[in-house]
Amino acid sequence: MGSQDLKDFKITGVVAAPFTPFDSDGELALEKIDPYIEHLLANGVKNVYICGTTGEGPSLTIDERKKVAEKWVKAADGRFKAIIVQVGSGNLKEVEELARHSEAIGADAISTIPTIFFKPANPKVIAEFLQKVSNAAPTIPLYYYHNPNMTGVNFSLESILNLCTNIKTLRGSKFTSENLYDLSRCILLSSDKYNLLYAVDEQILPSLTLGVKGGVGSTYNYLGKVVNRLLKAFDDGNIELARKEQVYIFIS
């Protein structure tokens, strides 16, 4: 992907966060991904975020993660607008290895959490970490996975993005936090540069009012049509219908 293509890369709409299938012995059941893809496409899901929290990426071995990513890319055969591979791990070397692998197999983007056992001391450390991940896979868009509740890394996303302006492949963030103030600050200050994907399913409608154009969710695995209806209702100015669809999401 060229520098201009990287600059223009943007994900919008529904992004499902798929589960990783296993058999009864705890081994990968990769053959289940084929019908999974057909199900998502039939329900209007055009993007997937694999090996994230829902996909249990941090609990898989490096080899398992590579196999999962390879299967999704090969089986999808270009039918998704974007396949984003979450490459975050407990140490930088593994993150770099998974980033290079995702780039090599033709994934559309990568995403990473920060290291979470020895946590970064400040936002500058996260920015330096993201620069190294970017260097490992310099031709593929990178998204920072901001999930303070799960990672325990509690710096505002705004404070992180402000230090990342020179990371050429960084295209945005998967924002998994109920902190709409931080989200709104990021959109206000950097929406022209960064693509922010909101990832609290139960609050997708409020995020749209702040300017979000796409969301990542685990419930979108089975509620793709509902979320698409919500997005359309919001775009059409039918807020009452959009509210009803939002309620359906958080009671499902």
Measure Cα distances from 210 to 183, 213, 223 in Å.
Answer: 8, 9, 22
Using CA atoms, how far residue 117 sits from 90, 91, 175, in Å, is 7, 9, 20
SS3 of 146-168: the string is ECHHHHCCCCCHHHHHCCCCCCC
Residue 108 sits at the vertex; the CA angle it makes with 51 and 63, to the nearest 5 degrees, is 40
Q: Which is the catalytic residue, given 145, 194, 198, 220? A: 145
Is 145 a catalytic site residue?
yes
Mark 79-94 as b/e (b = at least 16 C-beta within 10 Å): ebebbbbbbbbeeeee
Helix axes 92-105, 62-76, angle to 10 degrees: 20
Per the residue annotation, which of 143, 174, 194, 198 is the catalytic one? Answer: 174
Catalytic residues: 145, 174
